[in-house]
Amino acid sequence: MRSLALAILFTALSLGAANSSVVFITENGQLIGVNNIKVDRDFYNVRFIDGTCIDLFDGCDNASTDFPFNSAEAYAAMLALKDQAFNGNVYDADPLLTRGIDADMFYFGEAEILLPVHLAPAVSLVALYNRSGATPDFVPNPSIDGYALTNADFDSGTAGNSVYSVWDVPIPSTFILVAGVIAGLITRARSAYSAASGVKPMRFN
């Protein structure tokens, strides 16, 4: 029983570690996304995509269904993105390496990475300002600093210094760990039964 408990613990810890590593997704030398951004207990994959809120967020007409976070959650998510993806690396030092940021229209040495949260009446956004060089990046707290505002049909590609962040629906880390534990239990039980009965487990090719 002790060895079984240790095996389950090892499986859970291994799965947790595997899902905690941030993976940078690049294309032609540009950062197009980041996988495994941890927000609270969940992991998200993020992509940086130019376009309109309408095109990227299911019509951008219902905040409760079209946007992945409420205001407080979006603030936490963008802080996590800043701390885990733009944390003193080359993408932090040079915002032009992020897809959607155009050198010809790069203003004030900073890029705006946008995430919509409200529709009242304009699109309210939480923004991550990725600043070039050693200047610290910044995520304004919407409850204190307010929101960035835009129109639903605003195309971030026309701005040059702005790009939307599109977040996927997460698989909770607890679900991943429980699934791993269950799989370990099933495997262990089958092995124990086979050893006791002398019956080899069936294999399907």
Q: Which residues pair with 164 in a beta bridge?
A: 49, 114
Closest CA relative to residue 54, chosen from 67, 69, 68, 44: 67
DSSP for 77-125 reads: HHHHHHHHHSSSSHHHH-GGGBTT--GGG--TTEEEEEEEEEESSSEEE
Quote the pLDDT of residue 205. Answer: 46
pTM for this model (two decimals): 0.75
Quote the pLDDT of residue 192. Answer: 54
| Ranges of the chain with pLDDT below 70 | 1-20, 107, 171-205
Whole-angstrom Cα distance, residue 175 to residue 5?
18
Quote the pLDDT of residue 197. Answer: 57
Quote the pLDDT of residue 17. Answer: 43
* Residues 161 and 154: beta-carbon distance below 8 Å: no
Token pair for 61: 């007409």
